[in-house]
């Protein structure tokens, strides 16, 4: 129950981080885009209003300024009439303000007590050029826009200012409406992102959490446990990889357990024989010489067996630790092989097994190798042939040259190897279905030695029965 709670908490933590990061980034982008869009739309509206006000003011001011035959007083009256008779008074107000900033006339008819003094008036009078203002009406507090253009008499005297003023209330309301629409769209977008993220969380984070929990179970010793997955994407591939790893670890653990059991049995058998015969020989004074000799021979044989087993285990640990090294020299590999076959053949003859060497007239060149290590490989292969194929009472051995390789072939005429076990027999600790004594690491050591010589070790069933082992070693270039 605690594990499930921890798993849910971790999964919830990932979900929160994912959602917080994704929604945070998306929300920030939506906010920035919304603000930019709102600002752009506002500037568009204000720019259009400004252009319209400027066009009205400029047209009126240009018309008044071009009447050069009028006197200053007549121009003053014309300006006042132009403001009071302005046609577009429904959408904007036109004013005529004299040089002293007094409101003379307005298109609204009724003249207020004071003029709206904003920066555009003073700037237009001071510079003699049109000026604009957008901001708050200091009298009413309303958001307005104004454009002023000076009216200049022939002698350069500024008579006053023609100004158009309009309220921005409708424009502001439209901008707020657009901003609201953008806000709603942004919220909907965030909601969609949230839903999409929830979907991906279920598709990615939750399966990953299940895979992580199963991987922890495997790490805690539950080898062989499988992840149930229905995904055909990278998540499914990861689950299949972990399932494969779990199976291989389970198989490796089983093989290792069998290896420990086998080695324990292998060590106990010779030790029992040695201690038994020692106990038989030691206390007796009347024991027959023949029995004493037989007991000593058994003790010696079993001691050699123990020594060979310990040496094999030491070789394997060197391989595992990367400490196995080769003393490479150019050697006569044929001579080494023939000596090994001759020596082992005498031993097999005592067990009723014939070891036949198949000579040939080919010239086998010397090759760079560690002769002692290769002799160890030959002996191990011959020993395996005798153990597992000795029932055939015959073993053949030959050496030949094929292309750029020296090829050694050793064949027994026993029952062969089950087809499903052939891919596994060179794996460490693997003994298969055989009941023959052994540690299960001899072939793994042999393959490592052959591989270090840049060669190959191939084991397969021979045609007509038995097992064929082929060792290929490269020939050195001149």
pLDDT number for residue 396: 93
Q: What is the CATH number of domain 252-321?
A: 1.10.287.130
Strand partners, 136: 143
Q: pLDDT tens digits for the chain (478 residues)?
A: 444 454 455 555 666 777 778 888 888 888 898 899 889 998 998 999 899 988 888 888 888 877 656 777 888 888 888 888 888 888 888 888 888 888 888 888 777 767 788 888 888 888 888 899 999 888 788 899 999 988 888 777 888 888 899 988 888 899 899 989 999 998 898 888 888 887 777 777 677 777 777 777 777 777 677 777 666 667 777 777 777 777 777 777 776 666 666 666 566 767 777 777 677 776 666 667 777 777 777 777 777 777 777 776 776 676 666 667 788 899 999 999 999 899 888 888 888 888 999 988 888 899 999 998 899 899 889 988 888 887 888 999 999 999 889 999 999 998 888 888 888 777 766 666 555 555 567 788 888 889 889 999 999 998 888 999 999 999 875 3
Q: Read out DSSP for 83-110?
A: HHT-TTTTT-EEEEEETTS-EEEETTSS
| Rounded Cα–Cα distance for residues 194 and 30 (Å) | 14
pLDDT number for residue 409: 94
pLDDT number for residue 283: 64
Helix (H) or strand (E) holding 316: helix 289-321
| Rounded Cα–Cα distance for residues 392 and 385 (Å) | 10
Torsion of CA 397, 401, 407, 413, to 10 degrees: -30
| Three-class DSSP labels, 224-255 | CCCCCCCCCCHHHHHHHHHHHHHHHHHHHHHH
Domain residue limits, the chain: 2-173, 252-321, 329-474
Q: In the block, which residue shows the tokens 């004299």? A: 98
> Contact at 8 Å (CB) between 303 and 297?
no
Give the CA diameter of the chain.
Answer: 164
Q: Read out DSSP for 246-308?
A: HHHHHHHHHHHHHHHHHHHHHHHHHHHHHHHHHHHHSS-SS--HHHHHHHHHHHHHHHHHHHH
Three-state DSSP class for residue 47: helix
pLDDT number for residue 321: 64
Predicted TM-score (pTM) of this structure: 0.46
The second-level CATH assignment, the architecture, of 2-173 is: 2-Layer Sandwich (3.30)
Enter the tokens of residue 194. 């949230």
pLDDT number for residue 478: 32
Q: How far is CA 182 from CA 32, 48, 170, 377, in A?
A: 11, 21, 18, 80
Q: What is the dihedral sign for C-alpha 121, 125, 126, 132?
A: positive
- 222 Cβ neighbours under 8 A, 6+ residues apart: none
The second-level CATH assignment, the architecture, of 329-474 is: 2-Layer Sandwich (3.30)
| Half-sphere exposure (Cβ direction) of 255: Cα atoms closer than 13 Å | 19
């Amino acid at each position: 129950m605690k594990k499930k709670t921890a798993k849910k908490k971790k999964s919830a933590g990932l979900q929160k981080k994912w959602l917080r990061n994704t929604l945070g980034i998306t929300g920030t982008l939506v906010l920035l885009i919304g603000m930019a869009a709102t600002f752009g739309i506002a500037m568009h509206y204000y720019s259009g209003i400004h252009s319209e006000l400027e066009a009205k003011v400029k047209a009126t001011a240009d018309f008044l300024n071009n009447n050069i035959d009028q006197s200053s007083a007549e121009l003053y009256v014309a300006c006042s009439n132009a403001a009071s008779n302005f046609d577009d008074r429904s959408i904007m107000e036109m004013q005529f303000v004299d040089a002293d900033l007094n409101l003379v006339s307005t298109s609204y008819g009724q003249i207020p007590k004071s003029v709206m003094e904003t920066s555009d008036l003073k700037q237009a009078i001071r510079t003699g050029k049109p000026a604009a203002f957008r901001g708050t009406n200091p009298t009413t507090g309303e958001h307005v826009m104004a454009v002023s253009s000076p009216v200049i008499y022939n002698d350069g005297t500024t008579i006053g200012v023609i100004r158009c003023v309009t309220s921005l209330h409708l424009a502001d309301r439209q901008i707020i409406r657009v901003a609201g629409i953008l806000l709603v769209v942004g919220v909907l977008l965030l909601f969609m992102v949230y839903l999409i993220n929830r979907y991906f969380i279920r598709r990615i984070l939750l399966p990953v959490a299940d895979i992580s929990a199963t991987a922890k179970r495997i790490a805690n010793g539950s080898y062989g446990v499988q992840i149930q997955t229905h995904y055909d994407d990278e998540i499914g591939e990861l689950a299949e990889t972990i399932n494969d790893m779990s199976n291989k670890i389970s198989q490796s653990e089983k093989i290792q357990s069998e290896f420990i059991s086998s080695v324990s049995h292998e060590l106990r058998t010779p030790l029992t024989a040695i201690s038994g015969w020692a106990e038989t020989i030691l206390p007796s004074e009347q024991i027959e010489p023949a029995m004493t000799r037989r007991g000593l021979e058994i003790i010696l044989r079993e001691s050699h067996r123990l020594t060979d087993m310990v040496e094999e285990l030491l070789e394997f640990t060197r391989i595992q630790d990367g400490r196995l090294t080769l003393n490479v020299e150019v050697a006569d590999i044929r001579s080494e092989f023939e000596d090994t076959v001759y020596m082992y053949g005498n031993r097999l003859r005592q067990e009723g097994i014939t070891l036949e060497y198949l000579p040939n007239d080919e010239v086998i060149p010397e090759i760079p190798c560690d002769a002692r290590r290769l002799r160890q490989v030959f002996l191990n292969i011959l020993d395996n042939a005798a153990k597992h194929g000795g029932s055939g009472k015959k073993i053949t051995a030959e050496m030949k040259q094929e292309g750029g390789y020296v090829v050694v072939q050793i064949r027994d005429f026993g029952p062969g190897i089950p087809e499903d076990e052939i891919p596994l027999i060179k794996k460490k600790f693997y003994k298969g279905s055989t009941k023959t004594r052994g540690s299960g690491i001899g072939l793994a050591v042999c393959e490592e030695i052959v591989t270090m010589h840049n060669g190959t070790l191939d084991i397969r069933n021979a045609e007509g029965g038995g097992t064929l082992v082929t060792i290929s070693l490269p020939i050195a270039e001149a």
